[in-house]
Structure 1
Amino acid sequence: MNLAILFGVFVGGLVIGLPVAVTLGVSSFCYLVAAGIPLVVMPQKMYAGIDVFVLLCIPGFILAGNLMNNGGITERIIRFANSLVGWVRGGLGLTNVAASMLFGGISGTAVADAASIGGVMIPGMKKAGYPADFSAAVTAASSTVGPIIPPSVPMIIVGALSGLSVGRMFIAGAVPGFLLGGAMLVTTYIIASRRKFPRQKWMGFRAVGRSFLGAFWALAMSGLIIGGMISGLMTPTETAVIACIYAVIVGVFFYRELPVKLIPKILVDSAVSSAAILVLVGFANVFGWILVSEQIPQTIAKGVLSITQNKYLIILLINILLLFVGMFMETIAALIILFVPLLTLAQSVGIDPLHFATFAVLNLMIGLTTPPVGVCLFVCANIAELPLSAVIKAIFPYLITNIIVLFLVSYIPEISTWLPGLLQQ
């Protein structure tokens, strides 16, 4: 009966459109009242959920991304990407994907990527003659690359939940991230060729060199973040702090586009964004504690294993479940609620935890562009001034491409485990 109240209130909250964090909190509160458990448990478990040192990475990387975005990074990265691929058929679409791959190594969040890159690229693509729905779709699809290529906020959450090294998680996402980006480049080129989208003139190697020099300090930040963790000189948390200092120095003294008087506002905005994520983490931890206390993870594992113990079939079932959940639930909440139960199931059939964590995060990233509540779809539809239905129709080819990559990563563990294993030797 108590579990019926928990899930009933949770589903009801989602149906009426309450924020996921509020829904998690209200449903957990109702369960505690119905079960007669002292309500002091709620703040205790919320605090325990966010009292994890590695979660300090989240405000650090969010702040670093906001500082660099306000300091001129987005335009420079787009300019560099455009000099590389803008001359190909559908060049601005390819530029969009390439810029997201480069910017993703700094922001760590898909929504930041969609808003920042989309705010520049979608109007620019429309002005150059690209259909508005395609412009929004390619922006939304490519934004999901960001949280796969390190750094990645969802992978920080997974590390905090599972005890896996966040640094190894970041490295594990590199190859799948570039594979996903490469698949999107191919998809964009095929669509552009079939629909005869415009192309730009080749600007020459001098233009490539100038744009590279212009974007050098922005690109070097990605090198700093990844290199610091691969070398072992810095923990992910220390890397986030260094990235913030670096962003201020570059934005104020090198690019000279980051006004010092704007920094307090950026700090406040970053704090608000970080607080929203951590409140979600806190409420989701209460919800997760209830599931564990009711032995839901063990029940799920036993139920699935009673049907089949075939590892490949279980991978398929996990992917189907996560794709379905990703259509309706925010990524971080889904990870906190489902990751531990599904990790228990995955380990019971011999799936490597690092491999599982990588394809689980990739799966839920795809959910950000999957109707009906893909957040990146809403962001890009608003920028393009289009109804959501038009963007959903246009993004369908990218969803197919992303799911193909997802199954490659799911069934070929070496895609995610090879690089961490190589660097560990």
Structure 2
Amino acid sequence: MEVIVLFSVFLVLLLIGVPIAFCLGIASLSYLLLEGISLTIVPQKMYAGIDSFVLLCIPGFVLAGNLMNVGNITDHIIRFSNALMGHIRGGLGLANVGGSMIFGGISGTAVADAASIGSVMIPGMARSGYDKPFAAAVTAASSTVGPIIPPSVPMIIAGSLSGVSVGKMFLAGAIPGLLLGLAMMITVYILAVRRGYPRERRSTLRELVAEGRSAFWALLMTFIILYGIIGGVFTPTEASIVASLYAFVIGMFVYKGLTWRNLPKLFVDTVLTSGSLMLLVGLANLFGWILTSQQIPQMLADGILAISDNPIVVILILNLILLVVGSFMETIAALIILFPALLGVATGVGMDPIHFALMAVLNLMIGLTTPPVGVCLFIVSGIGKLPMLSVAKAIVPFLICNLVVLMLVSYIPALSMWLPNLLMGE
């Protein structure tokens, strides 16, 4: 009975638009009161959920993303991508995807990507003759590459839950991230040719070199983060601090878009974002503890394996569960609640934990661009001042191409496992 109340309260609050953290917290509180469990368990489980050194990455990478946006680093990335691909039919759309791939290698969050690149590219593409829903859809879809190409905040969460190397997980996302970006570029080009979207003037070699030189410091940031983690120079947590310091120096003294006056608001925004994520992690851990105490994860695992123990079928079922949950629930909450239970099922049919973690993150990233709770859809709809439905319709071709990549990643382990095994050993 108490479990039914737990899920009923959670679903009702979710459907009426209550923020996911409060949905988890209020539902958990309802269960505890009905069960007569002491409420001292609330701070204990919340603290246990966030008491992890690796989670310190989150505020570091959030700060790095904010510094990039304010310090004009994002603008240089977009201009370089446009100089490289703008002359191709639908070039601004290709530059949008390319910019997201580069930006994702620094910030690690899809929401930051959609907000920063969308604020520049959606109006710019609309002025150049692109349909605004198409521009918004490209921005939302390409933002999901960010947490696949390392670094990645969701992978940090998955690593802390499973105990696997975060560095290996970052490497596992490199090839699938590039594959995802390439698939979206192909989709953009096909749609651009069919709809007659414009192309920009081809940049001269001198202009291309100039934009490449201008974006050099921004591109170097990705290399420093990845080389530092892979080479053992610093941990992922230390990498987030290095990224923040680097973004501060480049934004303040090289690109000069960052000023001392910007810093107070920037720090406040970082604290608010990081605090809300940590609150979500803590409350999701409390909710997950309740589910574990009621053996819900075990029941879910037994239910899946009762349907079939064929790895092909089980992987398909896991994908369907994650896609559905990702369409309704915030990524981090979904990972904390579902990942430990589904990981046991995945490893039971022979999946490597890193392979499954990447597949889970990719599913939940796709969920960010699907109604009804697609956060990135809401962001780009707001930036473009568009009805949510028009953007949802425009994003369908990109969802299809992303699902194709998801199936490839799910059933070809080498796409995610080859690079970490090569560079860091099996």
What is the match of residue 295 of structure 1? Answer: 295
What is the match of residue 178 of structure 1? Answer: 178
Give the alignment of 1:115-134 within 5 angstroms. Answer: 115-134=115-134
Find out whether 1:202 has 2:202 as its counterpart.
Answer: yes
Residue deviations 1:160-205 (CA, integer Å, cap 9, x gap): 1111111111111111101000000000000001111001121111
The CA deviation at 1:268 is 1.3
- Output the CA distance in 1 between the equivalents of 2:152 and 2:245: 19
| Count of residue pairs brought into register by the alignment | 425
The CA deviation at 1:264 is 2.2
- Output the CA distance in 1 between the equivalents of 2:68 and 2:301: 44
- Output the CA distance in 1 between the equivalents of 2:135 and 2:15: 30
Residue deviations 1:248-267 (CA, integer Å, cap 9, x gap): 11111111111022112211
- Output the CA distance in 2 between the equivalents of 1:335 and 1:413: 21
The CA deviation at 1:363 is 0.5
The CA deviation at 1:218 is 0.8
- Output the CA distance in 2 between the equivalents of 1:394 and 1:314: 31
Q: Percent identity?
A: 60
- Output the CA distance in 1 between the equivalents of 2:89 and 2:253: 37
- Output the CA distance in 1 between the equivalents of 2:338 and 2:413: 21
- Output the CA distance in 1 between the equivalents of 2:244 and 2:107: 11
The amino acid that maps onto 2:121 is M
Counterpart secondary structure, 1:12: helix
- Output the CA distance in 2 between the equivalents of 1:229 and 1:264: 30
- Output the CA distance in 1 between the equivalents of 2:414 and 2:327: 28
The amino acid that maps onto 1:70 is V
The answer to whether the 8 A contact 2:114-2:143 is kept is yes
The answer to whether the 8 A contact 1:77-1:215 is kept is yes
Q: Which moves more between the two structures, 243-252 or 134-143? A: 243-252
Give the alignment of 1:383-422 within 5 angstroms. Answer: 383-422=383-422
The CA deviation at 1:411 is 0.4
- Output the CA distance in 2 between the equivalents of 1:75 and 1:68: 9
What is the match of residue 54 of structure 1? Answer: 54
- Output the CA distance in 2 between the equivalents of 1:130 and 1:164: 44
Give the alignment of 1:17-416 within 5 angstroms. Answer: 17-416=17-416
The answer to whether the 8 A contact 2:326-2:364 is kept is yes
The CA deviation at 1:67 is 0.8
Consecutive unaligned residues in structure 1, runs of 5 or more? none
The CA deviation at 1:80 is 0.2
Residue deviations 1:86-139 (CA, integer Å, cap 9, x gap): 000011111100010011111111111111000000000010011111111111
The answer to whether the 8 A contact 2:300-2:341 is kept is yes
What is the match of residue 6 of structure 1? Answer: 6
The amino acid that maps onto 1:385 is K
The answer to whether the 8 A contact 1:65-1:107 is kept is yes
Counterpart secondary structure, 1:369: coil
- Output the CA distance in 2 between the equivalents of 1:343 and 1:106: 27
- Output the CA distance in 2 between the equivalents of 1:198 and 1:328: 36
Counterpart secondary structure, 2:251: helix
The amino acid that maps onto 1:415 is L
The CA deviation at 1:208 is 1.0
- Output the CA distance in 1 between the equivalents of 2:252 and 2:18: 40
- Output the CA distance in 2 between the equivalents of 1:396 and 1:267: 37
- Output the CA distance in 2 between the equivalents of 1:265 and 1:137: 29
The answer to whether the 8 A contact 2:168-2:424 is kept is no
The answer to whether the 8 A contact 2:230-2:424 is kept is no
The amino acid that maps onto 1:381 is S
- Output the CA distance in 1 between the equivalents of 2:11 and 2:289: 18
- Output the CA distance in 1 between the equivalents of 2:393 and 2:244: 39
The answer to whether the 8 A contact 1:3-1:31 is kept is yes
Q: What's the Cα RMSD here?
A: 0.8
The answer to whether the 8 A contact 1:148-1:173 is kept is yes
What is the match of residue 16 of structure 1? Answer: 16
TM-score by length of 1: 0.99
The CA deviation at 1:56 is 0.2
- Output the CA distance in 1 between the equivalents of 2:60 and 2:167: 15
- Output the CA distance in 1 between the equivalents of 2:30 and 2:244: 41
- Output the CA distance in 2 between the equivalents of 1:424 and 1:43: 38
- Output the CA distance in 2 between the equivalents of 1:424 and 1:160: 19
- Output the CA distance in 1 between the equivalents of 2:37 and 2:213: 61
Q: Which moves more between the two structures, 127-136 or 244-253? A: 244-253
- Output the CA distance in 2 between the equivalents of 1:70 and 1:51: 30
The amino acid that maps onto 1:416 is S
The CA deviation at 1:228 is 0.5
Counterpart secondary structure, 1:419: helix
- Output the CA distance in 2 between the equivalents of 1:400 and 1:59: 33
The amino acid that maps onto 2:178 is F
The answer to whether the 8 A contact 1:346-1:356 is kept is yes
The answer to whether the 8 A contact 1:297-1:344 is kept is no
- Output the CA distance in 1 between the equivalents of 2:80 and 2:250: 17
The answer to whether the 8 A contact 1:99-1:117 is kept is yes
- Output the CA distance in 1 between the equivalents of 2:96 and 2:359: 24
- Output the CA distance in 1 between the equivalents of 2:251 and 2:325: 39
Consecutive unaligned residues in structure 2, runs of 5 or more? none
The answer to whether the 8 A contact 2:81-2:99 is kept is yes
- Output the CA distance in 1 between the equivalents of 2:384 and 2:43: 41
